[in-house]
């Protein structure tokens, strides 16, 4: 069957969106659609222009015999700000206040549409950082980790607090949790990572950074490199933090349990250069 350009454009768009960060040879499309490479090139330049015009992402063409085309999810600044503003608005409701100055965020972490956009924001910041693995700690960071992973096309590994038989052989470390200063344990399956991999760590919330620091130590046990840290909400913290190089989308400045007010501001995403490339 010979495909029309209009049909090719629809199918190609779907294929590229489902295969982010993968180099696809032009011959793949040429054979799939029984079309000349020159037609495929023209199709791709329409897709590329539309993706850029509409802030969907970049389409990078690699020339030569081993070349092809690669879709890189990349959000423009305005769309990132929109995600931030939505988070700030959502999180400021006083009924999110929990005893101890915590914020209820579980509903946001369970919203697939919002998580998809949060994932794309962080994937945009790390799209050229050659991330091999995304690491998070159970339970609440998992949805963010998977959302980023989908856009970067890399696996997720989940650190646990306990040792489960289904994880096989594991590596475990002890670390000091930031706020409570208690000794805690982190466990990760030995097969999760290979030495030399570049790891992006993510979590939903960070205060002192004890958990992040624990994960950092854990990846050293695997001879892996920390490639970046992405956190949804960071809490204002006056003392020195255990980690300092991270991106956040929201900053929780103050919680007043008596007046039931929550003070929030934009995280450091832009000030740390998350939108540059």
Residues 48-87 close enough to bind a copy of itself by CB under 8 A: 49-51, 53-54, 56
Q: Least separation, in Å, of the C-beta of 266 and a copy of itself?
A: 22
Of 164 and 273, CB closest to a copy of itself: 164
- Cβ count within 10 A of residue 218: 25
Alpha helices for 210-271 (secondary structure H): 210-221
Which pairs from 48-56 meet CB under 8 Å and 24+ separation? 55/79
**Should residue 207 be labelled a site residue for a copy of itself when binding is judged by CB under 8 A?**
no
Q: Which of 35, 143, 197, 213 binds a copy of itself (CB under 8 A)?
A: 143
Q: Is 130 in the site for a copy of itself (CB under 8 A)?
A: no
**CB-CB neighbours of 128 under 10 Å:** 10
Please, what is the minimum distance in Å from the beta carbon of residue 102 to a copy of itself? 5
For 259, other C-beta atoms within 10 Å of its C-beta total 9
User: Binding a copy of itself by CB under 8 A: which of 58, 70, 76, 160?
Assistant: 160
Tokens of 127: 């799209």
Q: What's the CA gap between 206 and 185, in Å, rounded?
A: 17
- Which of the residues 31 through 50 are near a copy of itself (CB under 8 A)? 46-47, 49-50
Among the candidate windows 157-165, 195-203, 215-223, 246-254, which touches a copy of itself by CB under 8 A? 157-165
Write out the residues near a copy of itself by the rule CB under 8 A: 5-7, 9-11, 13-14, 17-19, 46-47, 49-51, 53-54, 56, 98-100, 102-107, 110-113, 115-116, 138-140, 142-143, 146-147, 149-150, 153-158, 160, 165-168, 189, 191-192, 205
């Amino acid at each position: 069957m010979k495909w029309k350009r209009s049909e090719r454009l629809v199918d190609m768009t779907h294929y590229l969106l489902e295969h982010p960060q993968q180099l696809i040879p032009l011959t793949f499309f040429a054979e799939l659609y029984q079309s000349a490479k020159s037609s495929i090139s023209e199709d791709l330049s329409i897709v590329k222009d539309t993706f850029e015009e509409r802030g969907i992402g970049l389409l990078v063409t690699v020339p030569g015999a081993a070349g092809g085309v690669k879709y890189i999810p990349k959000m423009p600044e305005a769309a990132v700000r929109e995600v931030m503003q939505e988070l700030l608005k959502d999180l400021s409701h006083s009924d999110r206040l929990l005893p101890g100055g915590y914020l209820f965020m579980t509903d946001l972490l369970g919203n697939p549409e919002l998580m998809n956009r949060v994932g794309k924001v962080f994937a945009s910041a790390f799209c050229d950082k050659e991330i091999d693995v995304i690491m998070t700690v159970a339970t609440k960071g998992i949805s963010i980790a998977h959302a980023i992973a989908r856009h970067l096309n890399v696996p997720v590994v989940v650190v646990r607090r306990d040792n489960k038989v289904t994880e096989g052989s594991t590596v475990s470390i002890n670390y000091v949790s930031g706020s409570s200063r208690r000794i805690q344990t982190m466990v990760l399956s030995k097969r999760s990572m290979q030495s030399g991999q570049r790891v992006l760590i993510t979590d939903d919330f960070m205060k002192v950074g004890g958990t992040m620091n624990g994960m950092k130590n854990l990846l050293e046990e695997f001879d892996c490199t920390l490639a970046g840290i992405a956190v949804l909400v960071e809490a204002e913290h006056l003392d020195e933090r255990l980690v300092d190089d991270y991106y956040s989308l929201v900053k929780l400045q103050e919680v007043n349990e008596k007046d039931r007010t929550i003070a929030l501001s934009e995280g450091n995403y832009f000030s740390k250069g998350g939108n540059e490339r």
